[in-house]
Chain A
Amino acid sequence: MTALKKTPSNTAPSRFVVWYGELTTSGKLGRRGWLFALPGVLWLLLFLILPGLAVVAVSFAERGQYGDIQWNFTLENYSRAAGNGIFGWSADTLLALARSLWTAGLTTVLSILLAFPLAFFIASRPEKSRYLWLTLVIVPFWTNLVIRAYAWMLLLSPESPITRAASSLGLVEAGAALYPSDFAIAVGMLSTFLPFVVLPLYSSVERLDWSQVEAAQDLYGRGIRVFMHGILPQVLPGLTVAVILTFVPAMGMFVIPDLLGGGKFLLVGNLIQQQFGSSRDWPYGAALSLVLVLLTLVGLHYYRKYGKGVELV
């Protein structure tokens, strides 16, 4: 170590390393690493972090008379988000938030329930046809979300074969439409998010170590117990990705509930969209957005906590 040049005391000591045949020091390599990361860091800074900070700033501003932003510090937007309005407290905003949580949670759970058998089905196909099945899962993405929503409107309209089949089974009144309804929202949400669950889940299922499943059976496990100990811990990484990819965007979703729910129920996504759109109330919209972000993070936190529990129990 005495041969090494002394490094300034404020930086970590630099060690000699060989990097792809080149003799260099760890410090130099670290600096080069930053250089490579710089474009990405700049991009994130410009287009994510700065706008994010702007949203935070705007959420504490006032709305001007003509929908402009008055830079007077106020907490009124958050107070409104909590339900306090000109006419006193109302539960409307909180209900919208609760409905968003409920819709996103339900979408996530149902998607997972549907995706599990699908992922196992695809993983059990011969290797060549697996990619065909995976492509079929992705195909709906080749069309725009709004167009897909309109397609569902047609499919669920009173004259469609699906609706007729449903009414002949007595599920709906004759001549009634399946849309707008909660059912139509569920159909739209599931068809939108299913691929986000199937793909990560499939990648976990494909690598499943079946001997653990067999070990659970060999040790007298049945049904749920085999699943909980033989399968779930192994697919948990894929499941976590699936939950994040579904739950987070579903929390802010407004197109599907709007089009297929007939605008009957206000979700927080709709509310935010209104503020930035027709209402021209950016400060309130920003506050609502941040509340949504916060709620989503809390939701994910609890998921991770529960997920860790499954990992360690």
Chain B
Amino acid sequence: MNATLTPQAGLKAGLQAGLKLEGLQKRFGELHAVRDLDLEIQQGEFFTLLGPSGCGKTTLLRIIAGFELPDAGRVHLGGVDLTGKAANLRPVNTVFQSYALFPHLSVFENVAFGLRSKRVPGEQLKPRVNRVIEMLRLENYATRHPHQLSGGQKQRVAMARALVCEPLLLLLDEPMSALDAKLRHEVQLELRALQKRLGTTFVLVTHDQEEALTVSDRICVLEGGRVQQIGSPEEVYARPRNRFVAEFLGAANLIPAHGNGKSVHTPLGTLELAHSSGWSEGLLALRAEGVVLCPIPPAINGVRCRILERIYRGTHLEVHLEVLGGVNGATAPDFTPKARTAPFPRLERGQEVWAQLPPEALVALEGDRA
């Protein structure tokens, strides 16, 4: 490795990508936490690792931070190999899940910790710390100790403590899991605004799909230590690549189908697709809000249904349907689709309606039809 080349210099030259992970492997005994993982994160983007607990997202974050050594693979930042470097030698800082503030230090000293480690002289340190403390609206708490702060304030101290070091990469390990629901949404918006203002690369780990959709530029869905899909929130949500992504991001209806092309055979009859399925046998995903309920037979992909259940959710109505007859009079299968509509007072239990499964809302999933 070229000893003089630092990640900072690599990025400044504009020659190198942000963070590059190559062929990462990590095992803990029987558990294969990370498998053959390749990932590229652009400088300045808000990137989210999304997945259920045990999917390897936290392990991945710890490998990037330098707390775990991968069994195989490389971690590059700005073109410089960081794989074997200790955490304290990486221009990367972490916001811990439990915040891990130093209980014996004041808010000011907590924030100043990184700069003091780097022996930044006092006259430079103070304004830098104060600037970040102001940015995160902590001016009134600078002399307090962590046990005198609320959850939201602690979280901001943890952010300030990491950001004051001006890292090339800020890692956030489920930083909002300890906050209550209302505060969490506020903090998500703040976090996003902060990231846009600073232009620092943020890598967030979360299991909360709504959070991921709210804050991210790109989302990486992980499962079993493998990347399932990477894309913008819209891509990942609207065009899930496989069954896992579809289900994890809340797709309500999975329809088994066979037939290659834009027209596939399903238990609901022959359905038209907007894009070619790309397989001869597989699954179609359809979100609840993709189903269109109408009183008259629709021109395409119409299924006659009876309303089994009507659940009022305030912002929307959740409707469970029983299929009476499939497309073109196909026999009614054992399948209860779920739909989601605007609160619509005329829908009652037992009522018969037509459900349209619009071609553009039907997504053909990769992988086997389990």
Q: Using Cβ atoms and an 8 Å threshold, which residues of chain A touch B117?
A: 219-222, 225
CB pair B96–A215 under 8 Å, yes or no, is yes
- Give the residues from 179 to 237 in chain A that come closer than 8 angstroms, CB to CB, to chain B: 209, 211-212, 214-222, 225, 229-230, 233
B86, B92, B98, B104: the one within 8 Å of A229 (CB)? B104
CB pair A221–B98 under 8 Å, yes or no, is no
Interface stretch, picked from A169-177, A247-255, A260-268, A305-313, is A305-313
The size of the chain B interface, using a CB distance under 8 A, is 25
Cβ distance A221 to chain B, nearest Cβ, rounded Å: 5
CB pair A217–B102 under 8 Å, yes or no, is no
Cβ distance A275 to chain B, nearest Cβ, rounded Å: 45
CB pair A233–B93 under 8 Å, yes or no, is no
Taking A220-B117, A233-B103 as given, write out 7 further A-B residue pairs in contact, using a Cβ cutoff of 8 Å, ordered by the A residue number: A211-B98, A214-B87, A214-B94, A214-B96, A218-B88, A222-B117, A233-B102
**A215 with B94, Cβ < 8 A, contacts A220-B117, A222-B88 known:** yes
Cβ distance B145 to chain A, nearest Cβ, rounded Å: 9
Compute how far the CA of A311 lies from the CA of B118 in the bound complex, rounded to whole angstroms: 22
CB pair A218–B93 under 8 Å, yes or no, is yes
Q: Does B105 contact A (CB under 8 A)?
A: yes
Q: Using Cβ atoms and an 8 Å threshold, which residues of chain B touch A312?
A: 104
Contact digits for B110-125, partner A, Cβ 8 Å, 1 yes 0 no: 0001100110000000
Contact digits for A270-313, partner B, Cβ 8 Å, 1 yes 0 no: 00000000000000000000000000000000000000001111
CB pair B103–A221 under 8 Å, yes or no, is no
Compute how far the CA of A220 lies from the CA of B104 in the bound complex, rounded to whole angstroms: 18
CB pair A209–B104 under 8 Å, yes or no, is no
CB pair A219–B104 under 8 Å, yes or no, is no
CB pair A219–B113 under 8 Å, yes or no, is yes
A214 to chain B: closest residue by CB: B67
CB<8 Å pairs between A and B, sample of 12:
A214-B94, A214-B96, A215-B96, A215-B100, A215-B161, A218-B65, A218-B88, A219-B161, A220-B88, A229-B104, A233-B102, A312-B104
A225 to chain B: closest residue by CB: B117
Compute how far the CA of A310 lies from the CA of B104 in the bound complex, rounded to whole angstroms: 8
Compute how far the CA of A230 lies from the CA of B66 in the bound complex, rounded to whole angstroms: 17
Q: Does B288 contact A (CB under 8 A)?
A: no
CB pair A229–B100 under 8 Å, yes or no, is no
CB pair B104–A215 under 8 Å, yes or no, is no
CB pair B102–A221 under 8 Å, yes or no, is no
A211, A222, A229: the one within 8 Å of B96 (CB)? A211
Cβ distance A234 to chain B, nearest Cβ, rounded Å: 8
CB pair A233–B100 under 8 Å, yes or no, is no
CB pair A217–B104 under 8 Å, yes or no, is no
A312 to chain B: closest residue by CB: B104
Cβ distance A2 to chain B, nearest Cβ, rounded Å: 38
Nearest 7 A/B pairs, CB to CB: A219-B114, A220-B117, A211-B100, A215-B100, A233-B104, A217-B87, A220-B88
CB pair B100–A214 under 8 Å, yes or no, is yes
Q: Does B165 contact A (CB under 8 A)?
A: yes
Cβ distance A124 to chain B, nearest Cβ, rounded Å: 15
Q: Using Cβ atoms and an 8 Å threshold, which residues of chain B touch A212?
A: 100, 102
Contact digits for B25-42, partner A, Cβ 8 Å, 1 yes 0 no: 000000000000000000
Q: Using Cβ atoms and an 8 Å threshold, which residues of chain B touch A233?
A: 102-104
CB pair B87–A218 under 8 Å, yes or no, is yes
CB pair A220–B114 under 8 Å, yes or no, is yes
**A219 with B103, Cβ < 8 A, contacts A211-B98, A214-B87 known:** no
Cβ distance B104 to chain A, nearest Cβ, rounded Å: 4
CB pair B87–A229 under 8 Å, yes or no, is no
Cβ distance A74 to chain B, nearest Cβ, rounded Å: 49
Q: Using Cβ atoms and an 8 Å threshold, which residues of chain A touch B96?
A: 211, 214-215
Compute how far the CA of A248 lies from the CA of B205 in the bound complex, rounded to whole angstroms: 50
CB pair B98–A220 under 8 Å, yes or no, is no
CB pair A219–B86 under 8 Å, yes or no, is no
CB pair A221–B113 under 8 Å, yes or no, is yes
A236 to chain B: closest residue by CB: B104
**A218 with B104, Cβ < 8 A, contacts A225-B117, A229-B113 known:** no
CB pair A221–B104 under 8 Å, yes or no, is no
CB pair A220–B118 under 8 Å, yes or no, is yes
Q: Using Cβ atoms and an 8 Å threshold, which residues of chain A touch B98?
A: 209, 211
B88, B101, B161, B162: the one within 8 Å of A221 (CB)? B88
Compute how far the CA of A209 lies from the CA of B98 in the bound complex, rounded to whole angstroms: 10
Contact digits for B163-192, partner A, Cβ 8 Å, 1 yes 0 no: 001000000000000000000000000000
Cβ distance A218 to chain B, nearest Cβ, rounded Å: 5
- Give the residues from 270 to 308 in chain B that come closer than 8 angstroms, CB to CB, to chain A: none
Q: Using Cβ atoms and an 8 Å threshold, which residues of chain B touch A219?
A: 88, 93, 113-114, 117, 161-162, 165
Cβ distance B28 to chain A, nearest Cβ, rounded Å: 14
Cβ distance B297 to chain A, nearest Cβ, rounded Å: 60
A211, A220, A310, A313: the one within 8 Å of B165 (CB)? A220
Compute how far the CA of A217 lies from the CA of B65 in the bound complex, rounded to whole angstroms: 10
